[in-house]
Chains A and B, each alone.
Chain A
Amino acid sequence: MNSPILSVKGLSMSFELKGSWGRSAGTLRAVDNVSFDISSGETLGLVGESGSGKSTIGRLVVGLLKPTQGEIQMFGTDIRQNNADAFKAIRRKVQIVFQDPQGSLNPRMRIENAIAEPLDISGQYSPIERADRVKELIELVGLPRDCGKRFSHEFSGGQRQRIGIARAIALNPAFIVCDEPVSALDVSMQAQVVNLLLDLQEKLNLSYLFIAHDLAVVRHVSSRVAVMYAGRIVELAPRLDLYSKPLHPYTQALMDAVPLPRPGMQKAVGVPGEVPSLLNPPSGCAFHTRCPRASQICTVDKPDYRQVSQEHFVACHFIE
């Protein structure tokens, strides 16, 4: 088992909210003690609903946010290097694809410049090399060859996502954080972009952290899946295990809530109650307010994140 490309240990992220006159209005715990590894060529799916903390993890991993606690190691080195050059070198190997096809591209830049921006910043490409690389990237993501001079508003949502992906792979990264890359796309576009990501993964030996709220999409890109609730990972398992034998009540509820495109089959079941406030989370296990199996211990004790079998981890009092 080669050493992981990305190793996250005990990661926590809290935001101090400021009220009026600079007084503190409370602490928001967006991420609470999260740990996981990702190996070369692997995809870890990160699933959760709003307020789960999944997007925050994405931003922490690419260095857009600084964690309040915990360690992020890339290729064995802590990314929070004091050495600016080392940080830059690591940074080039990790890129991000965003959710919003509209906001992820500068409307005033021709897309060839948007795609080449990482190349320009690295300063290691001559104009000819740059032009060649941009052409190569445009082809790799399946965009029409001569579209480089156009502006982002001339493209559809799905195409803009492709442009964002081209930009992300420009510097040959080893690892890409995909932050809800298909959530804003129609289902037919979604399928196209997912297939593109899978193809690129094979061609370029990429690893992904694939963040999404759609369990069905995540199934088809991930080798392992982590489910998050209120800032914690509640279950992490290899794909087949998670989908055939979900152990955590929240994972089960999430699966039962998806409406299936088969009329006449069982109807989707919702979960009563609301997503917990991260400012004022419930005591004990954050899911206890909505969990069908909750009992006394759940209101008091936070369950440990335990390994229950080979590569399968759960945080629940009722799973041994």
Chain B
Amino acid sequence: MTSDELLRVSGLTVKFLGESGWLTAVEDVSFSIGKKECIGLVGESGSGKSVTALSVLNLHERRTTEISGRIEYFGKNTLTLPANDLRRLRGGEIAMIFQDPMSSLNPVLTVADQIIETLQLHENISHSKARLRAIELLELVRIPDAARRVDEYPHRLSGGMRQRVMIAMAIACKPKLLIADEPTTALDVTIQAEILNLLRDLQNELEMSVLLITHDLGVIAEFVQRVVVMYAGQVIEEAPVMRLFDQPLHPYSQGLINAIPPLHIDMRRLLSIPGQLPDSYEIHSGCRFVARCTERVSTCLNSQPSLIALQNGGSSRCPIRVELSGVQR
């Protein structure tokens, strides 16, 4: 791990025990997050992006999950940390916010109670000082009338407000890395923009790194510096955000970008990716995207392509596109 790296995921593979045996949700995923960097993890349902995010803080059910690989944070592998160290890490140096603020906040505790609880878990701080800090945090996340709002119960707050409270709890202990799992998906678009702007400002102020998980490429384009695209449990492309939209080096990335209905242009029909995510891709040997790919050739059916590292940063799992683009390996 270089000195500029904060987190390095290497060869992460996650399997779940279901009714019909073990299912591989994530396979051999690797990427790194630098200090003060914003990385986007993009994919559709079934891509494994959320599973990957939950693995960083080892949040899976132990009995029914098999995880292999390494997730290194300052030299320690979070997947094998002893319980106490892991607990200290969670909410401390690495924080996480989720999609649905209603179920992430305890409905029978006030906002103050919950923030104070987080603070006291990580710092030696008195109740009254923690309460003052809670109000400060609410102001930091731009909740108006914070001194009064701090004593409210979650159900009296709107979705946007609750998300801000979640963010306040997450940044309470000044984390170095914030993992945001679809933080704005459940919000109205006008509120979403506010929350994204808030996250961007906080990221600058607190000099945090952010791992943003989403399926919304618009949010990705606005917010992150580098993108990791996942499909069927694998990383299929990694690129700086400009290049991803300019010159996607995998047909799936291209398909995703094309499928977005443009707001300012008229189109007769939308461009879609044919077919759908196959039920089980563990059986056949070729590229996992082959059934839906319009650019496939015979070799795609036979061998599973590996991730090709590119000279100017990034990677792609499509040797055809890489070849055609002329980008150096």
With A191-B261, A194-B270, A213-B188 known to touch, is A267 a contact of B222 (CB < 8 Å)?
A: yes
Of residues 142 to 180 in A, which have CB atoms within 8 Å of B's CB atoms? 156-159
Q: CB distance B194 to A215 under 8 Å?
A: no
Q: Mark A32-51, 1 if CB is under 8 A from B, else 0.
A: 00000000000000000110
Is there a chain B Cβ closer than 8 Å to A294's Cβ? no
Q: CB distance B189 to A258 under 8 Å?
A: yes
Of residues 161 to 217 in A, which have CB atoms within 8 Å of B's CB atoms? 186-192, 194-195, 198, 213-217
Q: CB distance A49 to B189 under 8 Å?
A: yes
A243 to B222, CA, bound (A): 21
A257 to B222, CA, bound (A): 12
Question: Of all chain B residues, which has the CB nearest A271?
Answer: B190
Of residues 247 to 286 in B, which have CB atoms within 8 Å of A's CB atoms? 255-257, 259-264, 266-267, 269-274, 276-277
Q: Which residues of A contact B191 (CB under 8 A)?
A: 270-271, 274-275
A195 to chain B, nearest CB (A): 5
Q: CB distance B158 to A220 under 8 Å?
A: no
A25 to chain B, nearest CB (A): 15
Please name the 10 residue pairs, one residue from A and one from B, whose CB atoms are nearest each other, closest first: A270-B194, A270-B193, A191-B272, A259-B218, A49-B188, A186-B44, A191-B270, A271-B190, A268-B193, A188-B273
A270 to B193, CA, bound (A): 4
Is there a chain A Cβ closer than 8 Å to B196's Cβ? yes
A104 to chain B, nearest CB (A): 17
Is there a chain A Cβ closer than 8 Å to B217's Cβ? yes
Question: Of all chain B residues, which has the CB nearest A51?
Answer: B188
Q: Which residues of B contact A270 (CB under 8 A)?
A: 190-197
Question: Of all chain B residues, which has the CB nearest A256?
Answer: B193
Is there a chain B Cβ closer than 8 Å to A123's Cβ? no
Q: Which of A195, A268, A271 contacts B196 (CB 8 A)?
A: A268
Is there a chain A Cβ closer than 8 Å to B307's Cβ? no
Q: Which of A192, A213, A274 contacts B158 (CB 8 A)?
A: A274
Is there a chain B Cβ closer than 8 Å to A93's Cβ? no
Question: Of all chain A residues, which has the CB nearest B260?
Answer: A261
Is there a chain B Cβ closer than 8 Å to A92's Cβ? no
With A156-B277, A263-B241, A271-B194 known to touch, is A254 a contact of B189 (CB < 8 Å)?
A: yes
Most chain A beta-carbon neighbours within 10 Å: one of B159, B270, B274: B270
B interface residue numbers (CB < 8 A to A): 44-45, 158-161, 188-197, 215-223, 241-242, 245, 255-257, 259-264, 266-267, 269-274, 276-277
Is there a chain B Cβ closer than 8 Å to A300's Cβ? no
A77 to chain B, nearest CB (A): 35
B136 to chain A, nearest CB (A): 20
Of residues 110 to 137 in A, which have CB atoms within 8 Å of B's CB atoms? none
Q: CB distance A189 to B276 under 8 Å?
A: yes
Q: CB distance B269 to A198 under 8 Å?
A: yes
B267 to chain A, nearest CB (A): 6
> Beyond A187-B215, A268-B218: 5 further Cβ-contacts under 8 Å?
A157-B45, A239-B266, A261-B257, A262-B245, A270-B196
Q: Which residues of B contact A22 (CB under 8 A)?
A: none
Q: Which of A157, A219, A268, A271 contacts B222 (CB 8 A)?
A: A268
Q: Which residues of A contact B44 (CB under 8 A)?
A: 186-189
Q: CB distance B260 to A257 under 8 Å?
A: no
Q: CB distance B193 to A269 under 8 Å?
A: yes
Q: Which residues of B contact A191 (CB under 8 A)?
A: 259, 261, 270-273
Q: Which residues of B contact A275 (CB under 8 A)?
A: 158, 188, 191
Q: CB distance A217 to B190 under 8 Å?
A: no
- CB<8 Å pairs between A and B, sample of 24: A187-B256, A188-B255, A188-B272, A190-B259, A190-B270, A191-B259, A191-B272, A198-B269, A214-B189, A219-B263, A239-B266, A243-B264, A256-B193, A258-B218, A258-B263, A260-B218, A261-B257, A265-B221, A267-B222, A268-B192, A268-B196, A268-B218, A270-B192, A271-B190
A208 to chain B, nearest CB (A): 15
A205 to B271, CA, bound (A): 23
Q: CB distance A259 to B216 under 8 Å?
A: yes
Q: CB distance A159 to B276 under 8 Å?
A: yes
Most chain B beta-carbon neighbours within 10 Å: one of A243, A261, A274: A261
Is there a chain B Cβ closer than 8 Å to A103's Cβ? no
Q: CB distance B242 to A213 under 8 Å?
A: no
Question: Of all chain B residues, which has the CB nearest A259?
Answer: B218
A267 to B158, CA, bound (A): 24
With A157-B45, A217-B261 known to touch, is A267 a contact of B197 (CB < 8 Å)?
A: yes
Q: CB distance B190 to A259 under 8 Å?
A: no
Q: Which residues of B contact A255 (CB under 8 A)?
A: 263
With A191-B261, A219-B261, A263-B241 known to touch, is A158 a contact of B190 (CB < 8 Å)?
A: no
Q: CB distance A187 to B192 under 8 Å?
A: no
Of residues 264 to 289 in A, which have CB atoms within 8 Å of B's CB atoms? 264-265, 267-272, 274-275
Q: CB distance B193 to A188 under 8 Å?
A: no
Q: Which residues of B contact A60 (CB under 8 A)?
A: none
Question: Of all chain B residues, which has the CB nearest A159?
Answer: B276
Q: Which of A216, A239, A271 contacts B261 (CB 8 A)?
A: A216
